[in-house]
Amino acid sequence: MERQLAAILYADVAGYSRLTGQDEAETHRQLNQGLNLLTEQITAHGGKKVHEAGDAILAEFPAVTAAVEAALRFQQLMGEIQATDADSDQVQFRIGVNLGEVIHDRGDIYGDGVNLAARIQDIAPIGGVCVSGAVFDQLGSGIEFSYDDLGYRDFKNISRPIHVYQIRAKDPYENHPMAAIESRVKGQLMFDDAIERKLVTRGRCACGSIEIEISQESLGTGFCHCKICQRSIGAPVFAWAAFPVDGVKFVGDQPQRHRLSLIAERGFCAKCGSPVLWRSLKPELGTYLAIPTGVLDNPEDYAPTWHGGIESQLPWLQIHDDLPRARCEESPFLRKAWGSMDAADPEKWIALDYAETLEIDDEAKPK
């Protein structure tokens, strides 16, 4: 029997029988969607689907890089579908990729390498991709990825320990300054309102009708040069400090709110007009508030750490620092927020300027 070296991809749905028990029809719909998408990616990357067995797919590829690319691309697409359709997040796949000798027979492939791909799949995180050391060593320079070394693992019916790596698509926004703020927001503890909290800082509007009490540390600071910020505060650049929603209390008058764009609103003093907050409305009510640095009592302690919206930075505004600079379209947060409004194309964000978004939102139209 002739043996051939092949990259073997094995994908399986996590917890399939449990899901089927909960909602058979919906689980089946999502399974079909996933299997079709994976089949497309296998073909698009030069692989061949060998067989489907219930909720699993076995495929072979002539090259390891193509197999890993197909797996990563598939998981990325599944993630995108599930991010936009909350009901679609039940069926999620684990994928294992191995390099090994296979025997072709009866329209199928056989060999230890196939079994090992399935075993590696078992330990992949839900929605993730794991590969054997043999695959990892052969990954070409044409593929960008990050990885975790999961060490040597023993597998049932495999005689020696196998080195396993988890592979992830490289996140192009990994180093974006906003990413740090978002990860801190995610880890933020919810505080019990009854607990007396020491104030971290305070602020107020120009006339003093609104006082701001801030009881949690800042999540991050920045400049925004975007057109919408320029118009809404009437200044060439907006400097802000972000705080968890739970850490900000408005005392006295409450800020009047005005929908600023399809994705955000601002709060201002109804008496004097000072802007006192900015918050995201999409995709869900934001977990943090951006407070204009200028209304804080100690703005000197909240130095901006990066520049956003630099595509609109005014040519005569020279700020000589070496802080990171990013365009709006590079922000993972803005991409997600505008994406939820069906405006995934950054070109559209510029077109959807202040006036146009007011048209869309009648309530916000000036009387």
**Residues near 165 by Cβ (< 8 Å), separated by ≥ 6?**
130, 131, 132, 133, 135, 136, 147, 148, 149, 150
Comparing CB distances to Zn ion, the nearer of 39 and 209 is 209
CB of 301 to Zn ion, least distance (A): 22
Chain centre to alpha carbon of residue 248: 25
Comparing CB distances to Zn ion, the nearer of 34 and 275 is 275
Q: Which amino acid belongs to residue 339?
A: G
CB of 271 to Zn ion, least distance (A): 5
CB of 168 to Zn ion, least distance (A): 30
**Residues near 62 by Cβ (< 8 Å), separated by ≥ 6?**
6, 7, 46
C-beta atoms surrounding 33 within 10 Å: 15
User: Could you say which DSSP state residue 90 is in?
Assistant: S
Asked if 73 and 36 count as a contact pair (C-beta separation under 8 A), the reply is no
CB of 228 to Zn ion, least distance (A): 5
Comparing CB distances to Zn ion, the nearer of 122 and 311 is 311
Comparing CB distances to Zn ion, the nearer of 170 and 348 is 348
Comparing CB distances to Zn ion, the nearer of 114 and 233 is 233
Name the one residue in this structure whose structure tokens are 């995709």: 283
DSSP H/E element including 244? strand 238-244
**Residues near 24 by Cβ (< 8 Å), separated by ≥ 6?**
none
d(CA 93, CA 239): 43
Q: Smallest Cα–Cα separation from 114: which of 155, 165, 60, 193?
A: 60
CB of 313 to Zn ion, least distance (A): 11
Comparing CB distances to Zn ion, the nearer of 89 and 329 is 329
**Residues near 65 by Cβ (< 8 Å), separated by ≥ 6?**
138, 139, 140, 142, 143
Q: Which positions lie near Zn ion, rule CB under 5 A?
A: 205, 207, 209, 224, 226, 229, 269, 271-272, 309
Tokens found for residue 44:
């698009």
Helix (H/G/I), strand (E/B), else coil: 86: helix
Comparing CB distances to Zn ion, the nearer of 34 and 177 is 177
C-beta atoms surrounding 55 within 10 Å: 21
CB of 296 to Zn ion, least distance (A): 15
CB of 309 to Zn ion, least distance (A): 5
Residue 21 to residues 15, 16, 89, 184, 285: CA-CA distances in angstroms? 10, 9, 16, 37, 34
CB of 282 to Zn ion, least distance (A): 15
Comparing CB distances to Zn ion, the nearer of 91 and 210 is 210
Asked if 27 and 90 count as a contact pair (C-beta separation under 8 A), the reply is yes
Asked if 65 and 72 count as a contact pair (C-beta separation under 8 A), the reply is no
Look at the alpha carbons of 128, 134, 137, 138 in this order and tell me if their dihedral is positive or negative: negative
Comparing CB distances to Zn ion, the nearer of 10 and 238 is 238
CB of 331 to Zn ion, least distance (A): 10
Comparing CB distances to Zn ion, the nearer of 7 and 269 is 269
CB of 55 to Zn ion, least distance (A): 45
